[in-house]
Structure 1
Amino acid sequence: MAKFMMKCFFIVTVLLFGVLIGMQQANEGMKKMRGYDDPSLQGAFHITDTSNGEVEASVLGRKVTSHDLEEKQQQLEEVEAFNLFSSIGEKLGTGISALFEKILVTIGNAIGSILGG
């Protein structure tokens, strides 16, 4: 199951980058077709170096910074999403473990009484 999920994630990532590269190529083709640089035509992604040595990136016209990513990570950590299947699985696992523990204790006691008496 984990291999399947990793393959799916890899395929989706490759396809996403393929789409972004295709959009960038289409933008370059539009610029060549017009014959001049039109500022209204924005690329799919753009990476620039700032004067203080930092790198700025924009994807589909929206600027992406490490600060934005850190904010989103904090928001995800703060949100405690309730997963129904996770809670059901946890309760089911606890119940099955307790059931098998009782069964093994009963079998152990029965074997002990047979051997001891």
Structure 2
Amino acid sequence: MTKFMLKCFGITALLLFGVLFGIQKAHFEMNELKGASNKESIESMNDSFSPENEDVDKTSSHDIQAKQETLNKIDSFNVFSALGQKLTSWISSAFSVMISVLGIIIQEMLDVFSP
């Protein structure tokens, strides 16, 4: 019995370590995708930007506001997101029902066996 418990504990510890390692790796990769590690290089590029090219590359605030308004008006429907929300609510309600039924069964068993 102790060998079984030690094996289970070892496997559980190994899986927990793997999950924590995966979360850390995903966090690092997300920061790298966002460009958080390249802030220094972006600042150095902005410092080396010459003032003569600034007036050529400027966009008007009217264009940006129009694009922002169109983005706000677009209300896209994501099928997978809606399906995921419904599936999550179904699973959540199913587990809550299972837990309440299990609680009732345990309570009835305790009532039967209690003196």
Alignment TM-score, normalising by the size of structure 1: 0.50
Q: Does 1:10 align with 2:30?
A: no
Pairwise CA distance, 1:73: 1.9
The percent identity for this pair of structures is: 28
Consecutive unaligned residues in structure 2, runs of 5 or more: 1-25, 46-51
Instruction: Tell me which of the two structures has the higher relative contact order, counting C-alpha pairs closer than 8 angstroms and 6 or more residues apart.
Output: 1
* Count of residues in correspondence between the two structures: 77
For the residues of structure 2 that align with 1:110 and 1:68, how far apart are their CA atoms? 65
1:47 to 54, 57, 62: 54
The one-letter amino acid of 2:72's match is E
**Greater percentage in strand:** 1
Q: Quote the residue 2:59 is aligned against.
A: 64
Correspondences of 1:1-117 after superposition (within 5 Å): 1=26, 3-10=28-35, 46-48=53-55, 58=57, 63-117=58-112
Q: CA RMSD in A?
A: 3.1
**Greater percentage in helix:** 2
Pairwise CA distance, 1:105: 0.9
The one-letter amino acid of 1:46's match is N
Consecutive unaligned residues in structure 1, runs of 5 or more: 22-44, 49-56
For the residues of structure 2 that align with 1:46 and 1:84, how far apart are their CA atoms? 44
For the residues of structure 2 that align with 1:98 and 1:107, how far apart are their CA atoms? 14
The alignment partner of 1:81 has SS state of coil
Q: Quote the residue 1:27 is aligned against.
A: none
Pairwise CA distance, 1:2: 5.4
Cα displacement string for residues 4-48 of structure 1 (whole angstroms, at most 9, x for unaligned residues): 33422328x98xx7xxx7xxxxxxxxxxxxxxxxxxxxxxx9323
